[in-house]
């Protein structure tokens, strides 16, 4: 990788210190970039500055979570106010009611919602709700799709996951109608739910075919199997999430990232009767807790973030994303996705990452990128220029 992977003194020093305390020098495997990652120190809008003073346009947005970029003034004010009144407490607060109301208003199929601290937790709880509601144990997921780090949804084989876990998981290729029909016919009476991301990033960020989505709904409905749609990444694409564009009404929806205003968050919601199994007033209600779940700081940040992400804002950043995708394709890159979500592919993803970073653009290690509301047409022009320089 030559000069594009060479680190300056400050980052090198931080990395050496980190290695003494953190395996690999950081907490998150998904953001480790060999030979060693740069360390961020501050961000504002769509710009991010690392410990060496190098500034980049942030197209990664903390894995697409920062739909309003860094340090949005209204979100910062909401966080400061909430924290000043107690960052987390051992009682419910009005803040979680406000954010829940926003989600119920925006997502037609969601009548009740509960919060978690991450998308991983939200998936985990949604699967438990599905199992409790149906009285069945198995789940069906799609090969290669990412739904967090819960044992049941990790790719097979996943190191550290007991072999017995796979007895409860049915895995089929995404988009393969015949394989899906065969699997649900065989396992239907044992299936609690089908878990699907309608535009899975790790499978190329290509939207599911409408006919396949219709098949998922008809087959699950016919067999009393719940359909759980993972919108952790894709919720930003429409006011009610990507699934609304298909005319789909899933039984449960899983959320995260953009609904937290940049703070840790997850949520799962759906039909009232399904979500009732998580009602602690019931004698056999699921006892799902979490010390920081629904904390007022995150809830206030999330409410402000969603209010800012109205239909007009979504349309604008989707338009910028569509234009950026087309411009990058003209440079000879394979770029997939929809609206404000993009995935950039190159012959050597790591080499491309470093070339872009040194040219002043940050994307995710696997090529995922996202447009944020601080960006405009001029930002897109600059990004394209920097891509061209990185590819030269």
Contact 334, 309 (CB under 8 A): no
Catalytic status, residue 138: no
The DSSP element (H or E) to which 269 belongs, if any, is: strand 266-270
In angstroms, the CA 336 to CA 338 distance is 7
Among the listed residues 58, 197, 230, 251, the single catalytic one is 230
Distance, CA of 175 to CA of 208 (rounded, Å): 7
- Cis preceding-peptide flag for 207 (omega within 30 of 0): no
Q: Please indicate whether residue 167 is annotated as part of the active site.
A: no
Q: Which of 150, 257, 268, 357 is catalytic?
A: 257
Neighbours of 99 (CB within 10 A): 27
The reply to whether 230 belongs to the active site is yes
Backbone angles phi, psi at 56, to 5 degrees: -130, 155
Instruction: Using CA atoms of 28, 31, 35, 38 in order, give the dihedral in degrees to the nearest 10.
Output: -100
Q: Is 114 helix (H, G, I), strand (E, B) or coil?
A: strand
- Reading the block at residue 75, the tokens are 């979100």
64: helix, strand or coil: helix
Q: Which of 146, 150, 268, 357 is catalytic?
A: 146
Indicate which residues carry an active-site annotation: 146, 230, 257
């Amino acid at each position: 990788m030559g000069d594009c992977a060479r680190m300056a003194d400050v980052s090198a020093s931080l990395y050496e210190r980190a290695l003494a305390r953190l395996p690999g020098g950081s907490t998150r495997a998904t953001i480790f970039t060999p030979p060693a990652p740069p360390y961020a120190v501050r961000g504002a809008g769509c710009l991010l500055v690392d410990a060496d003073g190098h500034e980049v346009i942030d197209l990664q947005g903390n894995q697409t979570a920062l739909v309003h970029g860094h340090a949005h003034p209204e979100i910062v004010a909401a966080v400061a106010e909430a924290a000043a009144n107690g960052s987390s407490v051992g009682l419910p607060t009005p803040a979680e009611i406000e954010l829940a109301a926003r989600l119920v208003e925006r997502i037609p199929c969601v009548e009740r919602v509960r919060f978690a601290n991450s998308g991983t937790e939200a998936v985990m709880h949604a699967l438990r709700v599905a199992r409790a509601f149906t009285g069945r144990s198995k789940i069906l997921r799609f090969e290669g799709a990412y739904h967090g780090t819960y044992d049941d949804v990790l790719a097979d084989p996943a190191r550290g996951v007991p072999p017995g876990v796979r007895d409860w998981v049915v895995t089929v290729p995404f988009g393969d109608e015949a394989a899906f029909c065969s699997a649900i016919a065989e396992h239907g009476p044992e299936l609690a739910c089908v878990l699907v991301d309608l535009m899975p990033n790790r499978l190329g960020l290509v939207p599911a075919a409408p006919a396949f989505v219709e098949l998922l709904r008809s087959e699950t409905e016919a067999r009393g199997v719940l359909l759980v749609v993972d919108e952790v990444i894709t919720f930003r694409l429409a006011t009610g999430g990507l699934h609304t564009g298909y005319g789909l009404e899933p039984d449960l929806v899983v959320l995260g990232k953009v609904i937290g205003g940049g703070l840790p968050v997850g949520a799962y919601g759906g039909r009232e009767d399904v979500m009732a199994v998580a009602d602690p007033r019931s004698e056999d209600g699921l006892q799902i807790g979490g010390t920081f779940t629904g904390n007022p700081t995150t809830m206030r940040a999330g409410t402000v973030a969603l209010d800012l992400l109205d239909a007009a804002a979504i349309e604008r950043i989707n338009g910028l994303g569509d234009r950026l995708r087309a411009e990058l394709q003209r440079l000879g890159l394979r770029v997939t996705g929809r609206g404000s979500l993009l995935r950039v592919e190159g012959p050597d993803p790591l080499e491309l990452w470093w070339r872009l970073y040194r040219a002043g653009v940050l994307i995710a290690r696997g090529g995922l990128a996202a447009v944020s509301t601080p960006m405009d047409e001029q930002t897109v022009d600059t990004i394209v220029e920097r891509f061209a320089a990185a590819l030269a």
